[in-house]
A and B are shown apart, each in its own frame.
Chain A
Amino acid sequence: KQEVTQIPAALSVPEGENLVLNCSFTDSAIYNLQWFRQDPGKGLTSLLLIQSSQREQTSGRLNASLDKSSGRSTLYIAASQPGDSATYLCAVGEYGNKLVFGAGTILRVKS
């Protein structure tokens, strides 16, 4: 059974710092990996989608990498801002149209 772990569970940083969120998964037979953002009381917004054949994806200040062989993905946020404060979740896409989610990292960026 696929298990997805996110470390750290919570992170508090001053504005302007570059930071890395980690995601690990136990079964490398995945179709893709997605990073989501969730604001309190809201739904999830897709940030980056990496197909299994890709190594990384970039969008603005965000960069996500994927290493299937080691079962790891990282989300890099450059020059963090208070507006980046949210919960970040990673999810791996498996055969059968199923996403398996991690529990998330709660990020707080202090001004």
Chain B
Amino acid sequence: NAGVTQTPKFQVLKTGQSMTLQCAQDMNHEYMSWYRQDPGMGLRLIHYSVGAGITDQGEVPNGYNVSRSTTEDFPLRLLSAAPSQTSVYFCASSVLVNTGELFFGEGSRLTVL
């Protein structure tokens, strides 16, 4: 059982470049989300989705874009990378909205030079 799969695990970008972090889950979860983790700040919600075709902003959405065309996939796009986006990114999913246990991927470490 793969659970939540994130790719790539590591990425180095130059300022201004764009890229997509991939997230896929095989648990038929309706709820999916993206967080970033920075030292001393815990995890902060970037975007989330409660089902295919439905997305919404979290606490720190600027500079990121998402879409949800299928239940399984929830990619996160960096439109024009900035050094402030250097972070570890986590994708998470849950079967139940609001009340379900959250399952996390292994993370994607992004460095923007």
Interface size class of B (residues with CB under 8 A): 20 to 34
Interface size class of A (residues with CB under 8 A): 20 to 34
The contact string, 1 if C-beta is below 8 Å from chain A, for chain B 41-81, is 11111001010000010110000000000000000000000
- Kindly state the separation between the CA atoms of A96 and B4 in the bound complex, as whole angstroms: 22
Count A-B contacts at CB 8 Å: 61
Q: Please state if A103 and B58 are interface contacts (CB–CB under 8 Å).
A: no
A5 to chain B, nearest CB (A): 10
Residues of chain A contacted by B92 (CB below 8 angstroms) = 44
Q: Please state if A51 and B99 are interface contacts (CB–CB under 8 Å).
A: yes
A32 at the interface (CB under 8 A from B): yes
Residues of chain B contacted by A42 (CB below 8 angstroms) = 106-107
What are 7 pairs between A and B in contact, CB < 8 Å?
A32-B99, A42-B106, A44-B43, A46-B101, A96-B56, A99-B102, A101-B43
